[in-house]
Amino acid sequence: MVRVMATGVFDILHPGHVIFLKEAKKLGDELVVVVARDSTAAKLKHMPIMREEARRFLVESLKPVDRAILGNEDDMYRTVEEVKPDIIVLGYDQNFREKDIIKECNRRGINVQVVRLEKYGESDLNGTRKIISKIVERKGDLYAKDRNR
**pLDDT tens sequence across 23-82:** 999 999 999 999 999 999 999 888 999 999 999 999 999 999 999 999 999 999 999 999
To the nearest whole percent, how much of the chain has pLDDT over 90?
70
What is the CATH code of the structural domain delimited by 3-119?
3.40.50.620
**How many whole angstroms separate alpha carbon 104 and alpha carbon 101?**
5
Q: Sign of torsion, CA 61 124 5 94?
A: negative
pLDDT for res 76: 93
pLDDT for res 120: 75
pLDDT confidence of 119, banded at 50, 70, 90?
confident
Task: Indicate the angle between helix axes 98-107 and 76-83, nearest 10 degrees.
Answer: 70
Bridge partners (DSSP) of residue 53 are none
Q: Where are the domains of the chain?
A: 3-119
Mean pLDDT rounded to a whole number for the chain? 89
**pLDDT tens sequence across 83-104:** 999 999 999 888 899 999 999 9
| CA-closest candidate to residue 77, choices 34, 23, 21 | 34
Give the global pTM. Answer: 0.86
